[in-house]
Chain A
Amino acid sequence: MNLPELAARWMHALTSTAYIPLSHAEIEQALLDSLVELPESPESVANRLVSLHATGPDSLRATIEVLSPTFELPLLARLSSAYAQSMRMDAFDQQEQIKVAIVRAKQRVERTLKVSQARFQEVFASSALGIAITDFDGRCVEANDTLAEIVGLESGADFTERELIDFFHPEDAAALGAKYRQVRDGHVDRFRDQRKLIREDGEPVWVYLAVSLLRDADGEPTHHVTMVEDISELHLLQRSLDHQLLHDSLTGLSNRQHFVTQVERRHASDQITLYHLGLDAFSVVNNGLGHETGDKLLKIVGSRLGKLAGEKKAALARIGGDEFAMMTISDNVTTTIEEIQDALAEPTFVDDHGIALSASIGVVDRPPAFATANELMRCANAALRQAKARGKRQWALHDPHDDARRRGKYALAASMPGAWEHGELEIVYAPVHDLETREVLGAVARLHWDDLSHNDTMALADSTGLSLPIGRWLLREACAQAARWVEEFGDRAPTLHIALGALQSRDEDLVADVKRALDETGLPPERLRIALDIASVLAGDDNAVVLHDSGIVTALDGFHGGHDELAVLTEVTVRAVITRAVAPTPDSPLRQAMRDLIATVHSFGVRFGVDEVHTLEEAEHWRSVGADAVIGLLPALSADEVTELLTTAASPPPAVS
């Protein structure tokens, strides 16, 4: 057999025993070279076979089978020996190679591990969370400095061999121990909890715990890892939020809510005095200089009062726009009031405006223990209203009786709209008597409701905003009634007197209302007398003038005899003034003064009437000093009663003894 043919057979035999990554032609050529070389150097042929990767389990057998008829056994034996040796060496080379590969792989893994360990260490060391790794006996294996800081140790190393449980609050230890066991036993993956730790110095610190497991490479749990977040700051933040809830943002003082709780607490144990301050004319500042200036001023007031409160160990709050409240352990009220006014009086320069302030102050001093804080606040407020009513820089002590009265009134006022809607308000007619002739000059139409006098009812109506509609209703109804009387009784019908409330007296629509009432009811204008609230005229309202010009006879109600009032009488044409005063008895030192006053009024051509004169004796006193007429000698009657009275023939003059 020629060598190329042998090479081809060899190639086919070999390639089915091993993968030789060459083309068949290349393999054939390599084997042909080998056949040439074989007799001289079977060792190099063996090496070539191995390097060709003709190294399958059957490669040598296939080779011997192909070559044995052509080559001698000793040569093939040498080839086999060399092949085995070469395979050994190749195997060693490969093992060496993969060893290096493994070393490298391991190094890389270790490097990665080192990096990740370094990362872990970095996280561990620089974490804002305290971290402790504990074994299942609870001993710390490792802890970071942050945790040390939280519990007041020098460094994480101080945890070595200590038990984390040492830092738990004794009351928590059992519950936490159970939770740690639950994590270890796999009942839960982790737990989170808010707990108090006890620092080395014994101080408690609020923390947020997160506890989970560390596992080894086989997934077996080996340690607990406890993350500890110091939430004291969170507590502080919480407190700061509380602060915002309890404090006024502008002045930083307590707000009403906070103040009330302070009052509540203090009132339970001590005698207190409560001051409710309202800055006088603050709205003037706000409206005139702007809200910004107003705000600055409030801050200044807040800080001055704050200084005073600090000195007096008093609680202070801003409880409304320009209102402050101060609570002291019971002290000398007048001294404190002075101190408050002094603190405010020092001129304040705000945006180049020098402003001196004062306050009106309502005071509740040593209230009874059963009064609630909210009641005290309301009482102080009521006292402040009283003080404000007296003018600037005034103060008023809360009067419990007065307060009860006021409260009754407010309750009544609240029910008035309903009462009016249900027709419970009634118009009654009180006779006006001429003191000289003792004749009935006319009838004053008045409101009657639930035992309240007309004036009280009107005042109530004023406070509810009902006075205008009620006043108009009264005007129209009374005019209609008077017109019926005129129709029925002619000249014997009483002249209708109507006294208007403060609001209606200065109502722009008053004149139109009066005219409409007259037009619609047909009451002759000369049969109507309108008494206006003198305050409205003093304030410059011209309803009195216009009514007079319209042919309506007017009077001014609420006359006190002041200079300004007298001056008005010289300017506005009215028929009469109406006053309410104590009757000038003969022994009264004011008797002469009253007489002079009435004389003066008369000198202006104005008659002098007195309301709320209930006895003949009083009427006589008034007559003796020159008064012209009185109201109240006879009780007011309903319209029907008046009609009845007029019907019984000639109405006799009231019996005056």
Chain B
Amino acid sequence: MSEQVSWVPEGVDTGKPSAARLYDYLLGGGHNFAADRTLAEKFLQAQPNARTIARLNRAFLRRAVLFMMDNGIRQFLDLGSGIPTVGNVHEIAQKADPEAHVVYVDFEEVAVAHSQLILENDPRAEIIQEDMTKPRDVLKAADESGLLDFAQPVGVLTVGVFHFVPPEADPKAIVAAYRDAVPAGSYLAFSQFTQDLQPKEMAGVVEVMKKSQNPMFPRTKSEIEGLFDGFDVLEPGIVPLPLWRPEGTNTDDPDKAGIYAAVGRKV
């Protein structure tokens, strides 16, 4: 319980870093605490390109959402949405079409409370507090929100999330459960850390995060392919973040992007 910040209400343990707040910090956000920043510094030591990776990942999210919007998707299920930081899904989607619906899913108390704060005045977006590794609970709550019509294609977003899902949680079955809940023509946007790129740095990151509340599990390209069972992986396939349908000319080094990204369409 080190460095309890004075303005933080009693009972909230800011001493335990959270991956969501770490991500926020890497993106230049202020929704984080000393412990998060300490962890972020260690993260940065292991992977000096972390800020760029965070930015690229966030940018991929934006491009993926807009890609889906271009393909007629108007409802999104954002799994493991975390702290609302810059460029949230509902902002991106609703800028393109104010009628777009978004359901965020996160389990962490503060992330949920924060999201509720942001979404207070948006009748078309909502956060549900569920564990995204329990699809049945998530889908039930999402259905009860009334925001999603599971008869229509849904954009399922798991961006920078699955590297927190351990193998024993059976990630393939989790993806499959969401896949089975949505109709053909639905999309899955997926990004997660991989050891295929910069294996040394990745190993360092895994080591750093091992002691946090959110240990990480990078996956190879072929492992990620396996998760897209029942989806057509769309062009350009499973690629480092900046290579996925870049906007204009890309100046970022794909080999240092750390994360694979892909979008699939349910067959």
A interface residues with partner B (beta carbon < 8 Å): 12, 16, 18-21, 23-24, 53, 55-57, 59, 90-91, 93-95, 97-106, 108-110
Contact = CB atoms under 8 A, between A and B. Distances in A.
A47 to B, nearest CB: 16
A97 B114 contact: yes
Interface of B is mostly: loop
B55 A109 contact: no
Contact of B113 (A18, A23, A104): A104
Nearest to B14: A102
A640 B167 CA distance: 106
Closest 5 CB pairs of A and B: A21-B87, A94-B30, A101-B114, A105-B113, A19-B55
B201 to A, nearest CB: 19
B247 A24 contact: yes
A147 B248 CA distance: 75
A91 B11 CA distance: 23
Contacts of A94: 29-31
A102 B8 contact: yes
B102 to A, nearest CB: 14
B109 A21 contact: no
Contacts of B110: 98, 101-102, 105
A97 B9 contact: no
A468 to B, nearest CB: 81
Interface string B148-185: 00000000000000000000000000000000000000
A55 B29 CA distance: 8
B112 A91 contact: no
B19 interface: no
A92 to B, nearest CB: 8
Contacts of A55: 28
Given A95-B30, A99-B7, A108-B113, A16 B252 contact: yes
B4 interface: no
Contacts of B247: 23-24
B251 A16 contact: yes
Contacts of A20: 86-87
B32 to A, nearest CB: 8
A21 B58 contact: yes
Interface string B28-65: 11111000000000000000000110110011001000
B52 A16 contact: yes
A106 B9 CA distance: 8
B116 interface: yes
7 contacts: A18-B28, A21-B86, A56-B28, A95-B31, A97-B31, A101-B110, A105-B12
Contacts of A109: 11, 109
B117 interface: yes
Given A53-B87, A56-B51, 15 more contacts: A12-B251, A19-B28, A20-B87, A53-B28, A53-B86, A59-B28, A90-B30, A95-B30, A98-B30, A100-B117, A101-B31, A101-B117, A102-B9, A106-B11, A106-B109
B267 to A, nearest CB: 31
B113 A101 contact: yes
A105 B55 CA distance: 27
B27 interface: yes
B239 interface: no
B251 to A, nearest CB: 7
Interface in B98-123: 109-110, 112-114, 116-117
Nearest to B33: A98
A103 B9 CA distance: 6
A24 B246 CA distance: 11
Given A16-B252, A102-B110, A104-B117, A21 B51 contact: no
Contacts of A90: 30
Interface of B: 7-12, 27-32, 51-52, 54-55, 58-59, 62, 83, 86-87, 91-92, 109-110, 112-114, 116-117, 247-248, 251-252
Contacts of B113: 100-105, 108
A55 B25 CA distance: 11
Nearest to B31: A98
Nearest to B66: A23
Contacts of B252: 16
Contacts of B87: 19-21, 53
A19 B62 CA distance: 10
B92 A21 contact: yes
A102 B59 CA distance: 27
Nearest to A26: B95
Contacts of A59: 28
A488 B32 CA distance: 136
A475 B51 CA distance: 124
A138 to B, nearest CB: 31
A478 B193 CA distance: 115
A108 B112 CA distance: 10
Contacts of A16: 52, 251-252
Q: Among the interface residues B28, B52, B55, which one has the most CB atoms of the partner chain A within 10 A?
A: B28
Contacts of A106: 9-12, 109
Contact of A104 (B10, B83, B116): B116
Nearest to B86: A53
User: Which of A16, A94, A101, A109 neighbours the largest number of chain B CB atoms within 10 Å of its CB?
Assistant: A101
Nearest to B30: A94
Contacts of A91: 30
Contacts of A101: 31, 110, 113-114, 116-117
Contact of B109 (A57, A93, A99, A105): A105
Nearest to B115: A101
A19 B59 contact: yes
Contacts of B62: 21
A21 B117 contact: no
Contacts of B29: 94
B155 to A, nearest CB: 17
A37 to B, nearest CB: 23
A57 B52 CA distance: 11
Contact of B112 (A18, A23, A99, A105): A105
A423 to B, nearest CB: 86
Nearest to A87: B30
Nearest to B52: A16
Nearest to A94: B30
B117 A97 contact: yes
B51 A57 contact: yes
A410 to B, nearest CB: 78
Nearest to B11: A106
Nearest to B63: A23
B64 to A, nearest CB: 13
Contacts of B59: 19, 21
Nearest to A59: B28
A12 to B, nearest CB: 7
Contacts of A99: 7-9
Contacts of A53: 28, 86-87
A19 B91 contact: no
Contacts of A110: 11
A103 B7 CA distance: 10
Contacts of B27: 18-19
Contacts of B114: 97-98, 101
A94 B117 CA distance: 12
Nearest to B118: A97
Given A19-B87, A102-B9, A108 B109 contact: yes
Nearest to A53: B86
A433 B54 CA distance: 138
B65 to A, nearest CB: 10
Nearest to A12: B251
A23 B31 CA distance: 25
A99 B32 CA distance: 10
Contacts of A97: 31, 114, 117
B152 to A, nearest CB: 26
A90 B62 CA distance: 23
Contacts of B109: 105-106, 108-109
B86 A19 contact: yes
A109 B54 CA distance: 30
